[in-house]
Amino acid sequence: MFRKSIVLLVLLCAPFSLLAWGTIGHRAVAKIAENHLTSSAKREIARILGTETLPLVSTWPDEIRSDPQYKQTGPWHYLNVAAGLDFPAFVAQLTAAPAPVPTNAYNALLQVRQDLKDPKKTDAEKLFALKFVVHLVGDIHQPLHVGHGEDRGGNSIQVNWRGRDTNLHSILDGDLVEYPGFSYSEMATAYDRATPPQIKQWQKDDVATWLFESYQLCTPIYAAAATSPKFDYHFYPAFGPSVEQQILKAGIRLAGVLNEAFDK
């Protein structure tokens, strides 16, 4: 009973909900990535996944969070940084004191990405790494997963979404993603319209750039909540395009990561 209470306390005190993009958004990211995989990457991923698919495993790291066996992965879903940083200062925080084990989304993604390419890893280890790569690339493109520690990535900021009390983080995680009413496959079809130059540039960008883009998008979101915590139908036209762009970028960049790891 005591151990269960401790586990519950850890979950209750987690920095925020960690459910970036929800089920639909994460699966749309994975589906977009599938559309841009090389043939050899597709074959190797299919071999590792067996009967599973990239969209269906994209939410697995969220689903296992209640299992004490995986409690060390809790901090992998987000990165808390101070407000007002320029890019050099932001990168300095990312790389300040590398830990021996992953402690945030940045070093966790670097670790599982490396595991995918390591020929010494077993298929079981690569399966674990693959599921987290798919998920974490999605997570770090949700702006408030690179938010401010003092408000727990927007979880402590109470707002009202179309007459319903909620918090700022939850609106970005689910409400804005679900607003158009798409299934994940419909969303992938609607959003997957990147041009070849965009694909080339987005896949060329490093992980620090991905995170900094999300970090910058936090600023207008925080400002909107500070100006008026009651969000109505104007909120989606203001921020929906950014959500769409981030889901698309995540899918394109995920494809780049997977092609690099598996394209022989």
Instruction: Evaluate if residue 87 carries a pLDDT over 70.
Output: yes
Stated pTM of the model? 0.90
Residue owning tokens 């209470």:
5
Q: C-alpha distances in angstroms, 126 versus 46, 63, 130, 141?
A: 12, 18, 6, 23
Per domain, the residue ranges of the chain are 2-78+85-262
Share of the chain above pLDDT 90, in %: 73
Give the angle subtended at the CA of 40 by the CAs of 35 and 43, to the nearest 5°. Answer: 80
Helices (H) and strands (E) in the chain, counts: 14, 3
The pLDDT of residue 15 is 40
Q: Which residue has the higher pLDDT, 153 or 52?
A: 52
The pLDDT of residue 16 is 42
Query: Whole-angstrom Cα distance, residue 135 to residue 137?
Result: 6
Share of the chain above pLDDT 70, in %: 91
Please write the tens of the pLDDT for every residue from 196-236. 999 999 999 999 999 999 999 999 999 999 998 898 888 89
Give the CATH class of 2-78+85-262.
mainly alpha
The pLDDT of residue 4 is 38
- 59, burial (CB in 10 Å: exposed 0-12, middle 13-18, buried 19+): buried
- Residues with Cβ within 8 Å of 255's Cβ and at least 6 positions away in sequence, in order, are 32, 33, 34, 35, 36, 37, 203
What is the H or E stretch that residue 165 is in?
Answer: strand 164-167
Q: For residue 79, give the nearest of 60, 54, 96 by alpha carbon.
A: 96
The pLDDT of residue 149 is 82
Please write the tens of the pLDDT for every residue from 120-143. 999 999 999 999 999 999 999 999
Please write the tens of the pLDDT for every residue from 168-187. 998 988 898 999 999 999 99
Instruction: Evaluate if residue 146 carries a pLDDT over 90.
Output: yes
Query: Whole-angstrom Cα distance, residue 189 to residue 209?
Result: 26
The pLDDT of residue 11 is 34
Q: Which residue has the higher pLDDT, 99 or 10?
A: 99
Query: Whole-angstrom Cα distance, residue 135 to residue 33?
Result: 12
Mean pLDDT along residues 1-12: 35
Query: Whole-angstrom Cα distance, residue 16 to residue 114?
Result: 27
**Which own/partner contact pairs does 161-164 have at CB distance under 8 Å and 24+ positions apart?**
161/231, 161/235, 162/231, 162/232, 162/233
- 195, burial (CB in 10 Å: exposed 0-12, middle 13-18, buried 19+): exposed
Please write the tens of the pLDDT for every residue from 10-65. 333 334 455 678 899 999 999 999 999 999 999 999 999 999 999 999 999 999 98
The pLDDT of residue 68 is 92
